[in-house]
Amino acid sequence: MIKDIDKGLLSLITDYHSQDAEAFNIRKDGESIDRRSSKKITISPKAKKNGIDIRIKKGTKGQVHIPVILTKSGVEESVYNDFYIQAGADVVIVAGCGIHNDGDKTSRHDGIHTFYVGKGAKVKYIEKHLGKGTGAGKVLNPVTRVYLREGASMEMETTQLGGVTYSKRDTMAKLDAGATLVIKEKILTEGEEIAKTKFDVVLRGEGASVEVISRSVAKDESYQAFDSLVVGESECFGHVECDAILIGNAVVDSSPRIKARNVDATLVHEAAIGKIAGEQLTKLMTLGLNESEAEDLIIKGFLS
């Protein structure tokens, strides 16, 4: 049964009631509580471990929603979801996890998602994470593995909305000829929260390309680590950009790396970390905002 607290979490990470969702699976506190498949998109539980298989037929256009919520303190789980997307499909997959923990035990969700994307298929993957409640332990460890066949494309939008005590994001991708991958990451940490991100992308085929854009804000005593590696094994293009704003005594450790194994590989990386510029605050404050309001507005624009 879906309660008001469940609806609140679900509305923040995904609109699972959307009429555009052809298929969906809702998971709560370690169990699937609602599921729907269609003729072109089937969702079935795995036989030997937690998780589901999502199979999307050739040429399908539609949406799949697979949100997860934890509302009980002490629930810890690892869930394995595999996506098999056939050639020519064009789909939006909305995922993410919301944790509400008011207890003294850690609540943790490890979501291991593997995407097998067929030739010429297009995927937009939206993943949101957040934590709520007064409990100390709200842990999220998403693992994403992506295999793009020739001419396939995938756009990933990953957002950590706040309140997550600890997170470790691990993304690995391998791209065949002409495949494209775009990753847009947004992270906000406060208090003593810790967020770690790792990207490992191999451009195997001729004409493959990847763009990784990370925007983050670290406040108070929080800590963030960004580690990325793009390897070019053919004539390809890769770009990694990591920008972070520091507030208070927060720490950001950024390590964008590139490795060319082919003379025709074009790879670029850049990183920028700093505080909010004083002139930005001053300009907004002359418009009637106090310092806190001006700071919040700048952060909102930076992470938008």
**What pLDDT is stored for residue 144 in this prediction?**
98
Measured CA to CA, the distance from residue 84 to residue 76 in angstroms comes to: 27
Q: What percent of the chain has pLDDT over 90?
A: 79
CA-to-CA separations, 270 to 213, 238, 254, 261, in angstroms, rounded: 10, 12, 10, 20
Mean pLDDT, range 169-174, rounded to an integer: 98
Residue 214: what are its φ and ψ, rounded to 5°? Answer: -115, 130
Which residues, 6+ apart, have CB-to-CB distance to 98 below 8 Å? 9, 10, 12, 13, 67, 68, 69, 70, 128, 129, 130, 131, 132
Helix (H, G, I), strand (E, B) or coil at 285: helix
Measured CA to CA, the distance from residue 53 to residue 75 in angstroms comes to: 23
CA-to-CA separations, 102 to 33, 86, 94, 299, in angstroms, rounded: 22, 42, 26, 28
Contact call for residues 102 and 73 (beta carbons, < 8 A): yes
pLDDT in tens, 200-219: 999 999 999 999 999 999 99
**What pLDDT is stored for residue 1 in this prediction?**
58
Give me the residue spans of the domains in the chain: 4-276
- On the question of pLDDT at 193 being above 60, the answer is yes
Report the first-to-last Cα separation within the chain, whole angstroms: 34
**What pLDDT is stored for residue 288 in this prediction?**
82
Q: Is the whole-model pTM more than 0.85?
A: yes
- With vertex at residue 60, the alpha carbon angle to CA 58 and CA 66, rounded to the nearest 5 degrees, is 115
- Please name the residue ranges forming H helices in the chain: 4-13, 278-285, 291-303
Contact call for residues 174 and 200 (beta carbons, < 8 A): no
Contact call for residues 204 and 232 (beta carbons, < 8 A): no
**What pLDDT is stored for residue 115 in this prediction?**
98
Which of 201, 198, 271, 184 lies closest to 236 in space, CA to CA?
A: 201
CA-to-CA separations, 198 to 5, 16, 142, 185, 213, in angstroms, rounded: 32, 28, 11, 11, 13
Contact call for residues 231 and 261 (beta carbons, < 8 A): yes
pLDDT in tens, 232-251: 999 999 999 999 999 999 99
Measured CA to CA, the distance from residue 131 to residue 98 in angstroms comes to: 6
- On the question of pLDDT at 176 being above 90, the answer is yes
- Please name the residue ranges forming H helices in 102-198: none
- On the question of pLDDT at 23 being above 70, the answer is yes
